Homo-oligomer: A and B are copies of this chain.
Amino acid sequence: MSASKPTPEWQPWKSAISDSDETTLWLRGHDATALMRTASFADVVFLLHRSRLPTAHERRLIDAILIAVSDHGPGSPSAAAARVVATGSRLAPEAAVAAGVLAIGDSHAGAGLACMQLIAEGLQLKRDENLSMADAAARILAATKERGARFPGLGHRTHSTDPRTAVLFDLAREGGAEGDGVAFIRAVEEAARRPVKPLPINVDGALAAVLYDLGFPPLFAKFIFIIGRVAGLTAQVTEEYTREKPMRIRIPVVYDGDPPKG
């Protein structure tokens, strides 16, 4: 019984992200009210994750990525999950948004994180074995194929050429931030070229490369996707609430299991 068991001593949680007292809120040491007057939300996304404000160029890339992933229609898994939950629930809009976030897993939009991990791995291999960029890319691509996996960040089920890729790479180059990450993913794209069907770099691959060059860890590829997409998910849930009736979604199903017993 608990009487005989000492209650574990409580240790306050530690955090270096924000602090507050009766009259002030600080975000990474910056007075939130000062930020509210002059900063943009992209600045604060960068600040919360990097403990400093971005340069103008870094801000442009953060804005561009957030915008690039903000919505892709109600048929994408995250928006579809949000709308299905919204059809069954009107009282808890946060539940619909959360269901959308849950769909941002390893298959849908998980490519950014996985791609950044492979970029880091590939560039490490390049350094360790003093390889050319093309050889490092070919090695990582071959290892991926050997595991029976597709290389994350290449190809798109809607776009034959993902229009967002070129813009991200242009913006990176204009600001001088195009580095080894972009070079590596381009080398992979080149190595993956097939006779009949190229697999162009999609938005996940492009943002992974750009974020690598900006110094972010792989986890941030998933998180910036979530932050941006939540804007679209809130619009999707609003549309479901205002244009549609509750319980309107009926997925047609064919049963192909055991026949009735007895």
A35 to B222, CA, bound (A): 21
A231 to B31, CA, bound (A): 17
A51 to B89, CA, bound (A): 25
Residue pair A255, B16 in contact (C-beta under 8 Å): yes
A78 to B97, CA, bound (A): 14
A247 to B108, CA, bound (A): 7
Residue pair A88, B78 in contact (C-beta under 8 Å): yes
Q: Could you mark each residue 83-97 of chain A with 1 if its beta carbon is under 8 Å from any beta carbon of chain B, else 0? A: 111011111111111
Interface membership of A239, Cβ < 8 A: yes
How many copies make up the complex?
A: 4
Are A5 and B17 CB-contacts (below 8 A) given A90-B107, A99-B99? no
- Give A51-85 interface residues, CB cut-off 8 Å to B: 51, 62-64, 66-68, 70-75, 77-78, 80-81, 83-85
Which of B71, B84, B105, B157 meets A77, CB within 8 Å?
B84
> By the criterion of a CB under 8 Å from any partner CB, how many residues of chain A are at the interface?
130
Are A234 and B241 CB-contacts (below 8 A) given A40-B42, A81-B81, A160-B22? no
Q: A197 — which chain B residues lie within 8 A by C-beta?
A: none
Residue pair B7, A74 in contact (C-beta under 8 Å): no
Interface membership of A127, Cβ < 8 A: no
Are A37 and B167 CB-contacts (below 8 A) given A32-B67, A70-B27, A105-B90? yes
Which of B23, B92, B160 meets A161, CB within 8 Å?
B23
Are A22 and B159 CB-contacts (below 8 A) given A12-B7, A254-B2, A254-B14? yes
5 extra A-B contacts, CB within 8 A, seeds A29-B258, A107-B247: A7-B254, A14-B243, A14-B253, A27-B71, A91-B106
Question: What residues make up the interface of A, taking CB atoms closer than 8 Å to B?
Answer: 1-2, 4-5, 7-10, 12-33, 35-37, 39-42, 44-45, 48-49, 51, 62-64, 66-68, 70-75, 77-78, 80-81, 83-85, 87-99, 101-110, 157-161, 163-164, 166-168, 171, 217, 219-220, 222-223, 226-228, 230-232, 234-239, 241, 243, 246-247, 249-262
